[in-house]
Structure 1
Amino acid sequence: MERYLVFARTEYDEPLEHRGEVEAEGGEAAGKAALEKFGKEWLEMSLVPESKIYWAEREDEAEVEVEA
């Protein structure tokens, strides 16, 4: 069983946004599970297997200022 991150949008001028996750045995099953969970009203939906994500991390512990 693998976890897939689900990204989708409903309009061309929208960015793809993270909508949630699904777990499935392979890409085809993940696609079916995502459509079941999130509906079929999407213009575009992309699934990314969690095992294929590469997290880029900084080596230093620099503070980052966030504006509210």
Structure 2
Amino acid sequence: MNWIDVQSTNIARMAYDETNRILKIEFQNGSLYDYFDIPDVVFDGIRNSPSKGQYLAQQIKGHYRYARV
């Protein structure tokens, strides 16, 4: 699992574990969250989105389980 630095006012970097379908998001404030059961297509969506924070808010939050790490 490789971390990807992103240009976002909200998200600092993210990583995706394909085997376990876990999306890891590190926010600019240093908090780290795991989002579970994320399909490949959703990870591709956030990775390719021009607004990572907006994609996270609209397509992931409220749709998938998560935990603060």
TM-score where L is the length of structure 2:
0.29
Larger Rg: 1
More helix by share: 2
Work out which structure has the larger RCO, using CA pairs closer than 8 Å and 6 or more positions apart in sequence. Answer: 1
TM-score where L is the length of structure 1:
0.29
